[in-house]
Structure 1
Amino acid sequence: MKRFTPPEQWQVSSLNTGAFEHLRTLFEIEKQTDWPAPDWFSPYLTAINANNLPIVFEDDAKVDFAERYYEQVIFETGVVPTRAENWHDLFGGFIWCLFPKTKALINERHVQEIAQHGLKQRTKHRNALTLFDECGVVLAISNTQWQEWLRDHQWKTAFVENKGQWGKTIKPFMFGHANYEMLTKPYIGLTGKALFICVPDEIFCKDLVTQYKYLDQVLYEKIKIDNCLADNKKLSPLPLLGVPGWHDENLDEAFYDNTDYFRPKRRTRP
């Protein structure tokens, strides 16, 4: 059965916040006057899937699914079915361009899990892969204190008191394309899933293309070798509107007083 999503109006103003800075820098997306067609991604694509097929994007309506699951189509053909005028698939395309090795590995892992367990039984590994693919944020850190603060929900310490360190000892890189989609219409409660990656200090001095290439390789190894997405335990909640530079309202420190959004860590009894 073909998927259908009603066309959405192209509003480039939705991409003007700090959360989309990387897309503006690397793809000049703000210069588009209409929805990019699937082949628009071609100059940016370097991904090769596990079947040694180059990744290409094609109109979802023209793809022959032949009773195959979405991930199986990508694995068997190299074709990523892409819905027209659809934020979700548009942002999915950007992530394929920015994290080609990791996206190909995630696709391969999905197909392996389906072959072993079938489509109906979703394993912990597939759940973790899906959650990260949709909602993941890679937090590159050169100081492990960041992981302690954010995992412990010390939001004001991380977002306010150490605001000046964002971009110097910590930097967020969006992986979840659903996060990008929801950030076109931000709302209180919007939360991603952070995966911390320790990096050397000098990474923060590199250009953005180099940073993404480095993180793609490290992330690929963490999933393939360290099995960091065996389940969801490595993923930590991250209130996306709290990230410095990503939402205008967080310029006011009082924004972080909303404990329904910036929730304290739930303590478990001994």
Structure 2
Amino acid sequence: MKRFTPPEQWQPNCLKTGAFNHLNSLFKLNEQTQWPSPKWFTPYLNATNENNLPIQFVDDAQIDFAERYYEQVIFETGEVPTRTENWHDLFGGFIWCLFPKTKSLINHRHVQDIAEYGLTKRTKHRNALTLFDECGVVLAISNSKWQTWLRDHQWHKAFAEHRHEWGESIQAFMFGHANYEMLTRPYIGLTGKALFINVPDEIFCKDLAMQYQYLDQVLYEKIKIEHCLADNSHLSPLPLLGVPGWHEDNKNDTFYNNTDYFRPKRRTCA
């Protein structure tokens, strides 16, 4: 598999693929002429952490970590350490804007877990929180067939044969900011972790901002009440370049014939 190397300069051309449509639509990201600063997010932010402090993005170099872990700083101060001219942290900022309740909950869960178990060894819960935070994709579905097909790695059926149904009974919403970073230079092998969220059909008719607001609330409840990230069992591999519209090459159905990338489901003997 090709190793990911992030671009070193502000290159809006790499944001023109369909994978960035939501960010370009809601934030006009592809129209920016230079790196957005941490303060650039302020008009878009409406987040308070679970310690009742307003979230704000602060230059990483200005923060006194005082031997605190990243998540502890956010919980104790409301300040999100943000490296300037850094793709990873830039995309992390967008996820805070789009999923403020869920991000605040995940932050609190990290802090609670650290208080109970320490930093030395990650629990299954913290592993799941981290994996979803970095690589998660929310798949909003109104028909259970999508979960069946995708969890069973029926890639051609879900991505090619039923491509026309994307946006009608299924839609992908990026949560993992590391996914976005890697999609600035997409490569065969790039895989996220899908979490399926059942939604009513009418959700797909709402404007994009309202869809995110709805999903943020539902996702918050699934994590807080249903404990869907107690471990990794609810997360399913998702070849990101296979999502219809997210990569130019997948317009051709033969793209899905690459079984090194679109791998069949491993069958285990009883």
So what's the TM-score if we normalise by structure 2? 0.97
Shift of 1:51: 0.8
The one-letter amino acid paired with 1:114 is I
Task: Supply the distance in 2 between the matched residues of 1:31 and 1:243 (Cα, whole angstroms).
Answer: 24
What does residue range 1-270 of structure 1 map to in structure 2 within 5 Å? 8-270=8-270
Residues 101-120 of structure 1 deviation map (CA, whole Å, 9 limit, x = unaligned): 00000000000000000001
The alignment partner of 2:232 has SS state of coil
Task: Supply the distance in 2 between the matched residues of 1:7 and 1:134 (Cα, whole angstroms).
Answer: 18
Residues 94-149 of structure 1 deviation map (CA, whole Å, 9 limit, x = unaligned): 00000000000000000000000000120000000000000000000000000000
The one-letter amino acid paired with 1:135 is C
Percent identity over paired residues: 76
So what's the TM-score if we normalise by structure 1? 0.97
The alignment partner of 2:50 has SS state of coil
Match of 2:3 in 1: none
Give yes or no for contact 2:7–2:184 (8 Å, CA) kept in 1.
no
The one-letter amino acid paired with 1:202 is E
Task: Supply the distance in 1 between the matched residues of 2:214 and 2:113 (Cα, whole angstroms).
Answer: 27
5+ long unaligned stretches in structure 2:
1-5
Task: Supply the distance in 2 between the matched residues of 1:257 and 1:32 (Cα, whole angstroms).
Answer: 37
Shift of 1:31: 1.3
Task: Supply the distance in 1 between the matched residues of 2:154 and 2:131 (Cα, whole angstroms).
Answer: 23
Aligned-residue CA RMSD in angstroms?
0.9
Task: Supply the distance in 2 between the matched residues of 1:202 and 1:70 (Cα, whole angstroms).
Answer: 38
Task: Supply the distance in 2 between the matched residues of 1:154 and 1:25 (Cα, whole angstroms).
Answer: 30
Task: Supply the distance in 1 between the matched residues of 2:263 and 2:243 (Cα, whole angstroms).
Answer: 15
The one-letter amino acid paired with 1:149 is W
Give yes or no for contact 2:7–2:185 (8 Å, CA) kept in 1.
no
Aligned residues: 265
Residues 37-70 of structure 1 deviation map (CA, whole Å, 9 limit, x = unaligned): 0000000011100110000001000111011000
Task: Supply the distance in 2 between the matched residues of 1:124 and 1:8 (Cα, whole angstroms).
Answer: 34
Task: Supply the distance in 1 between the matched residues of 2:32 and 2:244 (Cα, whole angstroms).
Answer: 26
Task: Supply the distance in 2 between the matched residues of 1:46 and 1:66 (Cα, whole angstroms).
Answer: 27
The alignment partner of 2:46 has SS state of coil
Structure 1 segments (4+ residues) deviating >3 Å:
none
Shift of 1:7: 9.1
The one-letter amino acid paired with 1:46 is N
Give yes or no for contact 1:98–1:212 (8 Å, CA) kept in 2.
yes
Distance 1:153 1:7, change over 3 A: closer
The alignment partner of 1:233 has SS state of helix
Give yes or no for contact 1:95–1:175 (8 Å, CA) kept in 2.
yes
Task: Supply the distance in 2 between the matched residues of 1:150 and 1:216 (Cα, whole angstroms).
Answer: 22
